[in-house]
């Protein structure tokens, strides 16, 4: 059967005339959101930003306590998440032992340990002299302490670990206390978020590894790798210089 030439002609003409209308229509359709990208490090030091909204240090502490004392979260941390997190932390610490950044003889501190899964993981991999600090104690694994002013003498620990750098309102004090309480030659390992944003309780946002390196005045970077650490994606290790 042959196609009627006039009909084909009119069809093609109407299709051609409708193209501008279709283009106009689709140009106003909502665009799909694109993944959040991390801006490159800035020369102005804007790659570490403190979140606004804290009227006083007490208000900051209260906001952190709102998470730490949340009954639902504490129940999850001590039941459903207990063994799972210990297993993940144990693998992290075993890897650090293989890299000789941690040993069974390391006197160790976990900063912002909440209910102490990190401390328990250290003990299970053989690092028995370990303790945690948090705003709320959880005996016997965690004692009360503010990471902006650690309750320990100078040069107490061989190893310090934390995955709560993003909760520091004063990052310089956070790092300064680590370097104060760390022995010369000691190692600090931090898990941080570089490629994703942290939770609503975070007090700062870190946009480059260089911003963290700048805070460590008395230490040098010895190890960096990507990790999957409960919302944190980068592991950075620093060794305190022997002055």
User: What is the full per-residue pLDDT of the chain (243 aa) written as tens digits?
Assistant: 444 555 555 555 554 555 444 433 333 333 333 333 333 333 335 899 999 989 999 999 999 999 999 999 999 999 999 999 999 999 999 999 999 999 999 999 999 999 999 999 999 999 999 999 999 999 999 999 999 999 999 999 999 999 999 999 999 999 999 999 999 999 999 999 998 776 788 999 999 999 999 999 999 999 999 999 888 999 999 999 997
The domain total for the chain is 1
Q: What are the phi and psi torsion angles at 86 (to 5°)? A: -60, -40
- The upper half-sphere exposure of residue 185, i.e. CA atoms within 13 Å in the direction of its Cβ, equals 3
- Domain housing 52: 48-240
The pTM score is 0.81
Which CATH number do you get for residue 88?
Answer: 3.40.50.150
Whole-number Å distance between alpha carbons of 141 and 144 = 10
**Is residue 32 included in any domain, yes or no?**
no
pLDDT in the model for residue 6: 57
Give the strand order in the sheet containing 232-240.
142-144, 130-134, 108-111, 157-162, 182-192, 232-240, 219-229
Q: Please report whether residue 1 resides in a domain.
A: no
Q: How far apart are CA 165 and CA 158, in angstroms?
A: 19
Q: Please state, in angstroms and rounded to a whole number, the distance separating the CA atoms of residues 144 and 132.
A: 8
């Amino acid at each position: 059967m042959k196609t009627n030439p006039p009909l084909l002609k009119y069809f093609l003409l109407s299709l051609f005339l409708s193209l501008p209308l279709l283009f106009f229509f689709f140009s106003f359709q909502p665009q799909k959101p694109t993944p959040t990208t991390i801006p490159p490090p800035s020369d102005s030091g804007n790659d570490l930003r403190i979140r606004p909204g804290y009227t006083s240090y007490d208000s900051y502490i209260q906001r952190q306590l709102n998470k730490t004392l949340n009954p639902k979260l504490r129940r999850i941390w001590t039941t459903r998440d207990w063994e799972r997190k210990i297993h993940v932390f144990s693998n992290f610490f075993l890897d650090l032992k293989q890299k000789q950044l941690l040993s069974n003889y390391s006197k160790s501190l976990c900063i912002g340990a909440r209910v102490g899964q990190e401390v328990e993981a250290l003990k299970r991999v053989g690092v028995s002299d370990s303790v945690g600090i948090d705003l709320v104690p959880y005996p016997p694994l965690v004692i009360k302490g503010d990471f902006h002013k650690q309750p320990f003498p100078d040069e107490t620990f061989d190893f310090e670990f934390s995955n709560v750098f993003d909760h520091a309102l004063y990052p310089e004090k956070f790092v300064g206390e680590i370097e104060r309480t760390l022995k010369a030659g000691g190692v600090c390992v931090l898990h941080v978020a570089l490629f994703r944003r942290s939770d609503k309780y975070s007090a700062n946002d870190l946009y480059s590894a260089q911003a963290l390196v700048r805070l460590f005045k008395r230490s040098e970077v010895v190890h960096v790798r990507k990790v999957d650490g409960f919302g944190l994606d980068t592991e950075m290790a620093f060794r305190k210089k022997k002055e």
